[in-house]
Structure 1
Amino acid sequence: MTGLLLAIEGGDGAGKATAAAEVAAQLNAAGRSATVLSFPRYAETLGGHVLGEYLGGRLPHAASPRAIATLYALDRFESAAVIAEATARHEVVVFDRYIASNMAYQAAQVGPGEARDLMGWIARLEVEQFGLPLPDLSLYLDTPVEVARGLILRKRKRSYTDEALDTYEADMALQARVRANYAAMAAEGLLGRWATVSTLADGALRSPREIAGEIVGLLV
């Protein structure tokens, strides 16, 4: 059995972890074996550990977007066996962040003239050099930055930081550029098939159950 790979993407606070868990729960309830893998894997990989130090503001020096992109890719490369086992055991593997997240965030930290080249470089690193499988569907959870920030502040304590907001979450301008990058990648079909699901309806947050139900309906 080869599992379908569903990558749930979006900016910080978009509700990716909640949506991923609810999608897997609905699939399992319907008799379709599903599991969730979340990236970065802060406690399980070298790349994830160093990323935790970076996002927690504990690295002793600055790092370039390409260096940070390599750490995110390394985290997944170190997780290749875990991904392979999950796809062998389950009908659907739901990623809480995947390759597109690396592309959206690192491209948001360079000028517009460099962003597309950096996205391509990251895609080649993860897919061609590290041999990571492309997702069958990337699902973009579209959440306005202001709404997402409020949701971030309601998160439980994370393992890698004692602060309410990590390095990326605290930068509202960065989050706006990330949102624009995701919208562009979805529109252009980078990395394959995309779908966009809004987390709001008539200005109010939709329930996780409703959002997940829409996502499950896209899996054919």
Structure 2
Amino acid sequence: MGKLIVIEGIDGSGKGTQLKMLLKYLNEKNINHTSFDFPQYGKTFFGDFAHRFLNGEFGHFSRINPYLASFPYAADRWQVKDKIWQAINDGKLVICNRYTPSSIYQAVKVRSPQRKNFLNWVDTLEYEVFGIPRPSLVIFLYVPLELAQTLIAKKKKDQYEKNTKYLKKVEEMYLVDKLSPYC
């Protein structure tokens, strides 16, 4: 039986870079593996829908209900769940750049007393209703927001990346709330 490992962190934390380095290592060691980037831009219906959402086509992200806003990301993972399960059942190490824990981007919009309910809803939606596999391990890459901002300054920013105040709240949720069982 394979394992599912997820790499998480705020935008600009180096998830893509670390994924490339890990995949290179796994190739060199001949370790059977596969990887997925989420959202699946250009690969799935909901990945493309999430891209449109990030670009503001449906309004500013801060004004969209977090339950509705998290749905396209969950549905994107649902669209490839059979591939993930197949790889795990084939004994592969599955590495994901972002996964369910990224739903904290939406949880920031929910006030603290209701936040646990929102995260439980995400957990139920993704793992029970959609049946996607739970990660064996979640690796959180901590990079202070100020450094992350300099790293993403070189690329075109989506709505989240443009909002430093929002990203700071996301960073705090990862670090302070620990978002068990996510990280």
When normalised by structure 1's length, the TM-score is 0.76
Alignment RMSD: 1.8
Shift of 1:129: 0.7
Matches of 1:99 and 1:89, distance apart in 2: 22
Change in Cα spacing, 1:100 to 1:70, as seen in structure 2 (3 Å) is same
The one-letter code sitting in structure 2 at the alignment partner of 1:68 is: A
The residue aligned with 2:17 is 18
- 8 Å Cα contact 1:3-1:89 kept in structure 2: yes
The residue aligned with 1:214 is none
The one-letter code sitting in structure 2 at the alignment partner of 1:114 is: Q
- 8 Å Cα contact 1:35-1:90 kept in structure 2: no
Shift of 1:183: 2.2
Matches of 1:74 and 1:115, distance apart in 2: 21
Shift of 1:147: 0.7
The residue aligned with 1:83 is 84
The residue aligned with 1:177 is 169
Unaligned runs of 5+ in 2: none
Change in Cα spacing, 1:132 to 1:5, as seen in structure 2 (3 Å) is same
For these two proteins, the number of residue pairs brought into alignment is 181
The one-letter code sitting in structure 2 at the alignment partner of 1:63 is: I
The residue aligned with 1:127 is 127
Matches of 1:19 and 1:180, distance apart in 2: 22
The residue aligned with 1:140 is 140
- 8 Å Cα contact 2:85-2:133 kept in structure 1: no
Shift of 1:184: 4.2
Question: SS in structure 2 opposite 1:168?
Answer: helix
Shift of 1:60: 5.5
Matches of 1:66 and 1:146, distance apart in 2: 29
Change in Cα spacing, 1:166 to 1:3, as seen in structure 2 (3 Å) is same
Shift of 1:113: 2.2
The residue aligned with 1:202 is none
Shift of 1:178: 1.1
Change in Cα spacing, 1:85 to 1:185, as seen in structure 2 (3 Å) is farther
Question: SS in structure 2 opposite 1:169?
Answer: helix
Question: SS in structure 2 opposite 1:116?
Answer: helix
Change in Cα spacing, 1:44 to 1:16, as seen in structure 2 (3 Å) is same
Change in Cα spacing, 1:122 to 1:105, as seen in structure 2 (3 Å) is same
Q: Deviations over 1:23-44 (max 9, x none)?
A: 1211221221222200000212
Shift of 1:185: 5.6
- 8 Å Cα contact 2:46-2:75 kept in structure 1: yes
The one-letter code sitting in structure 2 at the alignment partner of 1:146 is: E
- 8 Å Cα contact 2:81-2:133 kept in structure 1: no
Unaligned runs of 5+ in 1: 156-163, 195-220
- 8 Å Cα contact 1:9-1:140 kept in structure 2: yes
The one-letter code sitting in structure 2 at the alignment partner of 1:133 is: P
Shift of 1:124: 1.0
The residue aligned with 1:152 is 152
Work out which structure has the larger RCO, using CA pairs closer than 8 Å and 6 or more positions apart in sequence: 2
Q: Which has more helix, going by share of residues?
A: 2
Q: Deviations over 1:82-131 (max 9, x none)?
A: 212332445311100011111x1111122222222111111111001111
When normalised by structure 2's length, the TM-score is 0.90
Matches of 1:59 and 1:171, distance apart in 2: 17
- 8 Å Cα contact 1:21-1:36 kept in structure 2: no
